Every structure is written in C-alpha cells, then in structure tokens.
C-alpha cells in the first residue's frame, strides 16, 4: 500500500514529505524532505488536506480537473 501525501511545505513549497516509517500512524510527525520543516502530525495534516479537498469540490471550475 502506498501512501501519498501532497501538502506543500509552508516554508519551501516542496511537496516531498519525510516519514518515519512506511506505515504512517496518525500520531507520526511529518517533516519536509527538502528543508526539514515540521508539518505536524499525520492526523493534523490529513485534516488540512480534507479541508482543502472540500474547498476544491465546492468550486465548479475545479471539477474539470477530475
């Protein structure tokens, strides 16, 4: 199973994240692979991603991308 997290780093805008292990747990702290910026726990990142996804769905123009 592959887990993909695409959340741009607020510091360097890199979307490459560093994980402590292949199987990510909700309590794992994720950091940016490029600059090492702490992005918070998997749970908080997932929450932010869900919010961003909900906002995308609400925009009619974004539907073309899917």
CB neighbourhood size of 33 (10 A): 15
Interface with Zn ion in residues 7-46 (CB under 5 A) = 9, 11-12, 14, 32, 34-35, 37
When the beta carbons of 12 and 24 are compared against Zn ion, the nearer one is 12
Taking the complex as a whole, the smallest distance from the CB of residue 58 to Zn ion amounts, in Å, to 28
29 CB burial (10 A radius; 0-12, 13-18, 19+) = middle
Segment near Zn ion (CB under 5 A); pick from 3-11, 18-26, 38-46, 51-59: 3-11
CA–CA separation, 46 vs 35, rounded Å? 20
Taking the complex as a whole, the smallest distance from the CB of residue 5 to Zn ion amounts, in Å, to 13
């Amino acid at each position: 199973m592959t887990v993909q997290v695409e959340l741009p780093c607020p510091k360097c805008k890199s979307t490459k994240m560093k994980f402590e292990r292949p199987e990510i747990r909700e309590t794992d702290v994720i950091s940016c692979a490029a600059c090492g910026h702490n992005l918070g726990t998997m749970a908080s990142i997932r929450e932010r991603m869900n919010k961003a996804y909900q906002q995308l769905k609400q925009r009619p123009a974004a539907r073309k991308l899917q």
